Amino acid sequence: MTTLRSLAFAFLFYLWSVLVAVGCAIVVLPAPRSWCTEMMRGWAKGIIFLLRVVCDIKVEVRGREHMPTGAALLAPKHQCMFDVFAQFAFMPDACFVMKKELMWIPFFSWYALKAKMIVVDREGHSAALRKLVKDAQERFAEHRQVIIAPEGTRTAPGAAPDYKPGIAALYREIDVPVHPIATNAGVHWPKHGFTRKPGIIVFEYLEPIQPGLKRAEFMRTLQERTETASNALLTL
């Protein structure tokens, strides 16, 4: 039954995504950026609906008192594709930090440009970090929520973390709180394969880390909060 449900979800997921991307292009792309934000929110909520009715996977949000409404830096645990775009459904004006390779994808890249996502060349080293800081400052001036995965790539639930320096550079240069986000999404939407396992996907917004900590203390605090909370969700 799980296999049949997973196959049905995969078909409906791509059908829904294509219908939204193609059907909205002629209206959204020439319109104000806010239209693109609302389109992405509707797309993400549609996927959450499909997960519930097709795969018996419910999505639960915890720590709502820590969810930002203005300029903030979000640092989510990254276990699968879903934990990235789910934030469109929860944040008022999300802006993702994304690798430049994704800009080769038709429609996706057009919407990413329209939504003013932050594109990073991971081979650019110090120049890429400077651009990341500059772009993030511009988005914060627009009171947006900048989302960057501290590990830079997906890691399996329970695997040893490897936090990258990009988040520390942003924290050092920009005077906004960092909001860790714990999740168990990878348990129900694995990094590889199409199987979607029934249960509850939780996104838990943790107490924000205020500006002013030294780099080592900040990274230790971020990793401890995120990993402890995420590992506690693995039994759901």
Tens of pLDDT, residues 182-222: 999 999 999 888 899 999 999 999 999 999 899 999 999 99
Distance (Å, whole) CA 21 – CA 42:
11
This prediction has a pTM of 0.90
Q: Dihedral sign for Cα 29, 30, 34, 38, please.
A: negative
| SS3 category, 95 | strand
* N residues, the chain: 236
Taking residues 161-190, what's their average pLDDT?
A: 88
- Break the chain into its structural domains and give their ranges: 1-235
Nearest residue to 233 via CA among 206, 211, 196: 206
**β-strand 178-183 against 199-205: which pairing, if any?**
antiparallel
Distance (Å, whole) CA 109 – CA 68:
26
Please state which of the ranges 3-7, 21-25, 101-105, 136-140 shows the lowest mean pLDDT: 101-105
CATH architecture entry for 1-235? 3-Layer(aba) Sandwich (3.40)
Place of tokens 């890249």: 109
